Amino acid sequence: MFKIVVVVAYIAVTILFLIPVVVVQGLTHLEQLETWLPFLKGVLSLTFVSDLITGYLPSLILQLFLSIVPPIMILFSSMQGSISHSQIEKNACTKLLWFTVWNIFFANVLSGSALSMVNIFLEPKKIPGLLGEVVPAQASFFIAYVVTSGWTSTTSELLRLFPLLYSFVQRLFMGKDDDEDDFEIPSIPYHSEIPRILFFKLLGVTYFFLAPLILPFLLVYCCLGYIIYRNQFLNVYAPKFETGGKFWPIVHNSTIFSLVLMHVIAIGIFGLKKLPLASSLTIPLPILTLVFNAYCRKRFLPIFKAYPTECLIKKDRKDQDDPTMTEFLEKLATAYQDPAMTAARYSRNDDGRSSPLLRGVEV
């Protein structure tokens, strides 16, 4: 029952998020903005204002709305019945990834035409041509999105401004000090960071032949990410759980999806440019990619569903050399007791309600 509720809620959130996407796309087109708000024509005629509104502001607004989605996905994953933190974050990571792909990529690309989202389902044969027509038109928006979301989020990760403000509020209003024993070392939020990185990878794969100008911006993002997150992993974050590499299938599936999407867009581009030979030579590429994906799923996916025996043997040998394991095993025997097996305890009342129904008769 909860799974059905989560699916319905997930679809509802996805649909509601289209509202800020439409607003953002309205900001990228000054003609539409002047039609909606005619009193701003004088202000929009200024070059600085128009560049700010069409370039930086849409990506910033979209990023602000997107920042509230990860906690919602964590809530949805918790409602599904996952019993471990790693499983909750893994499910939330998958939900947030496809939410981002649909609402940030497809919704922004297809929102330029009112019937594009409907036609893409009603006429599947026109999908390559439609994507080949609308995807290149949004290249400038996604370049600005990489700068706004990618560069800004990566540099803000080094500052960790929001955790700093939260800690300050705790000390100011709750009387907590940094020297307390309950200080909790933060862990990296996999459910929000992995989808962001994979989405930028999707942009790089799909736009490298449409708008190569996006590649330097993505390269700067990757370099900043390597430097900053390496420092965070070594000096700031501490892992709270071990997933055994179970996030890697998400990365693999996202890569395969990006490649297939790039092939479909390429077929559409070649079709629009009247290059039948190039389109014909590109058609086998998505088929070969899917065949390779099927091979990888059959060959490597079982490794990520269960821990390999080699890892378990290493873990057992490490536990044997751990001097604290004896005490841990002794506590483990009494760590959990079934409530049905515990002795019942009754409170003794002196008000007569616990006295026997038949009293002894004095002879």
Mean pLDDT of the residues in the chain: 79
Q: Is the dihedral of CA 171, 175, 180, 182 positive or negative?
A: negative
pLDDT tens readout for residues 55-96: 667 777 777 888 889 999 999 988 887 778 888 899 999 999
Max intra-chain CA distance, the chain: 116
CA separation (Å) from 233 to 112, 166, 360? 41, 21, 76
* pLDDT tens digits, 128-161: 777 777 788 788 888 888 888 888 888 888 888 7
Task: Give 27-65 pLDDT, tens digit per residue.
Answer: 665 565 666 566 666 666 666 566 666 666 777 777 788
Asked whether residue 236 carries a pLDDT value surpassing 50, the answer given is yes
By 3-state DSSP, what share of the chain in percent is helix, strand and coil, each rounded to 5?
Answer: 75, 0, 25
From 245, 219, 241, select the one nearest 303 (Cα to Cα). 245
- Say which residues have a Cβ less than 8 Å from residue 274's Cβ, sequence separation at least 6: none
Backbone Cα Rg of the chain: 28
Residue 4 has pLDDT above 80, yes or no: yes
Residues 300-358 pLDDT 10s:
888 887 767 777 788 788 888 888 888 877 777 777 666 666 665 555 555 555 555 55
